[in-house]
Homo-oligomer: A and B are copies of this chain.
Amino acid sequence: MSKRPVRTIEDIARLAGVSKSTVSRVLSNSPLISDRTKQRVLAIAKEHNFRIHQPARRLSLRHSSTIGFVTHGHTKNISVEDLFQLEMLGAISAALSSYNYDLLMLHVDPYDNNWPNEYLNTGRVDGFILMTSTRKQHHIQTLLEIQAPFIIWGVPVPPHSYCSVVGDSFRGGHLAGEHLVQSGRKKIAFIGGPEDELEVTLRLQGFQTALDQAGIPADPGLITFGDFTSAFGSQAIRELLERSPEVDAVFANSDIMAIGVINTLHSLGKNVPDDIAVVGYDDLSIAQHATPPLTTIRQHLPQAGQLLVQNLIQHIQTGVVTNVSIPVELVTRGSA
């Protein structure tokens, strides 16, 4: 008689003339239930647009079906530099919802060591996904210590064993170098991310291998490291050009950096790719919208997101530790 008494499984049970147990079972698709009952209950549930109350379910099941995406605290840090993370977030979110998991955003204080407990012991989250980088390395220690389930995007560092997925950076660097070499470039600069990041080192190794193979001598003067920002890209190319005006190509370690490089080149009156060819890294969606459109190394973010969640969930459920390396791919567009 009253407005909307259909809020719980018990309401449905009453309407269907069965027990709560039965309703619960049909809703979780238990094989025990007869088809007739199942259809009837389902019909009633649908008719009333019934949805299971998650906190109750989570309490009973003792897990949250939600994972935390870990990001660093301060608002100020969020900027174009985090575009990569943003695209990754989209990919992860898409994958997560296909598993019926929720995505909790965790803006974490980098100096706090207790945050994993804050989310795990409270039953808000079943595990974590994080993008690694040097400064976050100690988070991994913390997670390892309390045995929190997690997976990282990045190269896992040896002593310990934990889940990871990462692009094949050596091959990425190699592809970039090879492409530049094959298009006839001779003075090819490497504008890298942080020198102490494994990915960066690997890209450099792949890159140098490609030059070696083409018989181009290594020139330390053409190699710089910094961060992944466009600001650093700008600065790096400017300095490079002062030191070595004959540079005819650059391999930048991120699309964002590459865009910084290109902008600076334009303002110096250089033509891209005629005077200087530029290849980026990641293939974010901005890559195709740059002027000229960026030639870059595609990291396959949607696939990465999918693997990150699939393997995390698997790890939560079975304890299996996976480390996967995703093939990268050269995408040729206008800039090189």
Contact = CB atoms under 8 A, between A and B. Distances in A.
Contacts of A80: 80, 83, 284-286, 289
Interface string A227-253: 001110010000000000000000000
| Copies of this protein chain in the complex | 2
B104 A104 contact: yes
A230 B83 CA distance: 15
Interface string A91-131: 10110010000111101000000100110011110000000
A80 B84 CA distance: 10
B51 A118 contact: yes
B107 A93 contact: yes
A91 B75 contact: yes
Contact of A122 (B54, B74, B91, B104): B54
Interface in A41-86: 49-56, 58-59, 64, 66, 69, 73-80, 82-83, 86
Nearest to A102: B104
B124 A102 contact: yes
A10 interface: no
A90 interface: yes
A89 B94 contact: no
A263 interface: yes
Nearest to A255: B80
Contacts of A231: 289
Contacts of A79: 83, 87, 284-286, 289
A72 B7 CA distance: 28
A231 B286 CA distance: 10
A292 to B, nearest CB: 10
Contacts of A7: 121
Contacts of A59: 53, 55-56, 59
A193 B74 CA distance: 29
Contacts of A213: none
A53 B121 CA distance: 7
Nearest to A76: B285
10 cross-chain pairs, A with B, having the tightest CB-CB distances, nearest first: A79-B285, A55-B58, A78-B90, A75-B90, A51-B121, A55-B59, A93-B107, A103-B105, A55-B55, A51-B122
Given A104-B105, A229-B289, 4 more contacts: A59-B59, A75-B302, A78-B87, A82-B86
